[in-house]
């Protein structure tokens, strides 16, 4: 395989963490001389970055892999890589199931891809799922956008939510140093990026594994102090962070978000259930009352803040009355966006072994009722944008209408308006909202607020 014929394709399943890991692995491959191929069929290295948060996500990768495994019999030079959470969960079992795979690598090994591929090139079949300390990347990610960027701040999760596979597949919490995070943001600012999303499975846990305690007994390194530490990075106009955990969400953080102009008024705080007994069974570590107090406090200081969340229906043992408590919370909080899912028993999670599993029919019924309510409430919540002027950071052309560009408000609302992408990409434009939909807006540009 000559260097210039080395072409790669990455298919990414799942969450923002996986998207960020795929960008890092793409950066490693391009540093090795591989070139991106828009389709897997033109590539001779195919990488699936997988998700196992629910069974259907896991099963998807096997249908994709099956086709390429057949192809490999005709093209022995084809390299097949399975990365991410299914790789970590299955390890050697995945090789037994699909022996054509060359490399199975867990999320912690993302930036070791070159070493692992060197071993594959030497004729070995590799499984890299042992827990390791994640060192800083030496190669730059190949980012999907030139305007917005993901920046990992903490890998893994030490929580033990009884339905969740993440701690088992992503390992213990490993925070990056504030200096490493700031350096990455400084480079992004120099490259013309305008917005950064700080990422962590449980971002409120940032820094608790790093040394240092303040005189008040607080972890010296924490998300709030990190926001102050990176706020003045030149060129970066907007800062977002995800995913928050109600158990650790603090008054200091809310104050900081209110005080720091670049920090966008958008909070992603999964609540999962509106019922305290279900939250207890999930080992979430907070009550619905505490969750409501957090939202109320955010809205006290930032009345227009956007609130999004995740919710699970049909958790083992959930009664109709307990499900109605979830509906009641959604009814009263009026989320801007709510990601909903029916409970899916996952390998090596406590709740999967419990007797009181609900039927698929009950789960499907509850999911449909919740989604109906979510759509209604998002529609109501969206009405506040009508005829308002919103600051929109232009990210791309509208794929459905080339006369329009698209971007998001500070509240993370997708917005479309007429414009030329070459002129407006990366600029913040004042847009008068003329049309409101449940999850997106359309408007007319007034003026560009930031220079080219």
Contacting residues toward ligand SF4, per CB under 6 A: 157, 159, 161, 164, 166-167, 201-202, 245
Do you know the residue count of the chain? 452
Q: How far is the CB of 365 from ligand SF4 (least distance, A)?
A: 24
Please give the Cα distance from 88 to 104 (Å, whole number).
8
Give 149: exposed, middle or buried? Use CB within 10 Å, 0-12, 13-18, 19+.
buried
Query: 15 by DSSP, 3-state: which?
Result: coil
Residue closer to ligand SF4 (CB basis): 14 or 443 = 14
> How far is residue 345 from each of residues 79, 103, 281, measured CA to CA in Å?
32, 27, 14
d(C-alpha 78, C-alpha 269), whole Å: 42
The residue (of 172 and 386) whose beta carbon lies closer to ligand SF4 is 172
Q: Measured on CA atoms in the order 43, 46, 50, 56, is the torsion positive or negative?
A: positive
Question: Nearer Cβ to ligand SF4, position 58 or 195?
Answer: 58
CB of residue 154 to ligand SF4, shortest distance in Å: 11
How does DSSP assign 22-74, residue by residue?
A: HHHHHHHHHHTT-EE-SSGGG-SEEEEEE--SSHHHHHHHHHHHHHHHHHHHH
CB of 332 to ligand SF4, least distance (A): 23
Please name which of 239, 243, 278, 241 lies closest in space to residue 262, comparing C-alpha atoms: 239
Closest CB to ligand SF4 among 281 and 431? 281
Beta-bridged to residue 443, according to DSSP, are: 433
Task: Supply the minimum distance, in Å, between the C-beta of residue 378 and ligand SF4.
Answer: 23
Q: 274 vs 419, which CB is nearer to ligand SF4?
A: 274
In the complex, what is the shortest distance from the CB of residue 26 to ligand SF4, in angstroms, rounded to a whole number? 24
Q: State which residue, 204 or 265, has the beta carbon closest to ligand SF4.
A: 204
Taking the complex as a whole, the smallest distance from the CB of residue 272 to ligand SF4 amounts, in Å, to 8
């Amino acid at each position: 395989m000559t260097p210039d014929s080395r072409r790669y394709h990455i298919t990414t399943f799942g969450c923002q963490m996986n998207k960020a890991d795929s960008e890092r692995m793409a950066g490693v491959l391009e540093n090795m001389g591989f070139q991106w191929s828009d389709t897997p069929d033109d590539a001779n290295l195919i990488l699936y970055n997988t998700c196992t948060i629910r069974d259907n996500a896991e099963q998807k990768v096997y249908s994709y892999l099956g086709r390429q495994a057949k192809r490999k019999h005709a093209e022995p030079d084809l390299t097949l890589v399975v990365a991410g959470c299914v790789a970590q969960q299955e390890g050697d079992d995945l090789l037994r199931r699909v022996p054509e795979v060359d490399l199975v690598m867990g999320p912690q090994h993302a930036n070791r891809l070159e070493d692992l591929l060197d071993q594959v090139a030497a004729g070995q079949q590799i499984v890299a799922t042992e827990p390791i300390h994640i060192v800083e990347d030496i190669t730059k990610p190949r980012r999907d956008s030139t305007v917005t960027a993901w920046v990992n701040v903490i890998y893994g999760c030490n929580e033990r939510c009884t339905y969740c596979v993440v701690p088992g597949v992503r390992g213990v919490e490993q925070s990056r140093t504030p200096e490493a995070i700031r350096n990455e943001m400084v480079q992004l600012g120099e490259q013309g990026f305008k917005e950064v999303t700080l990422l962590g499975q449980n971002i409120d846990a940032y820094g608790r594994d790093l040394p240092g305690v303040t005189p008040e007994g607080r972890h010296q390194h924490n998300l709030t102090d990190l926001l102050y530490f990176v706020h003045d990075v030149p060129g970066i106009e907007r800062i977002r962070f995800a995913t928050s955990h109600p158990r650790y969400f603090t008054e200091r953080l809310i104050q900081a978000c209110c005080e720091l102009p670049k920090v966008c008024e958008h909070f992603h705080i999964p609540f999962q259930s509106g019922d305290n007994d279900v939250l207890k069974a999930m080992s979430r570590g907070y009550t619905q009352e505490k969750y409501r107090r957090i939202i109320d406090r955010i809205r006290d200081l930032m009345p227009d803040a956007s609130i999004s969340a995740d919710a699970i229906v049909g958790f083992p043992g959930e009664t109709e009355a307990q499900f109605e408590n979830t509906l009641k919370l959604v009814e009263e909080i009026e989320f801007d966006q709510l990601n909903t899912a029916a409970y899916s028993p996952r390998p090596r999670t406590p709740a999967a072994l419990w007797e009181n599993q609900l039927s698929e029919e009950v789960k499907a019924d509850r999911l449909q009722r919740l989604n109906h309510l979510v759509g209604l409430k998002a529609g109501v919540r969206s009405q506040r944008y009508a005829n308002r002027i919103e600051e929109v950071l232009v990210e791309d052309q509208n794929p459905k209408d080339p006369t329009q560009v698209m971007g998001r408000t500070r509240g993370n609302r997708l917005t479309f308006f007429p414009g030329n992408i070459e002129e407006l990409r990366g600029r913040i434009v004042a847009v008068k909202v003329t049309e409101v939909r449940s999850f997106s807006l359309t408007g007319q540009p007034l003026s560009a607020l930031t220079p080219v």
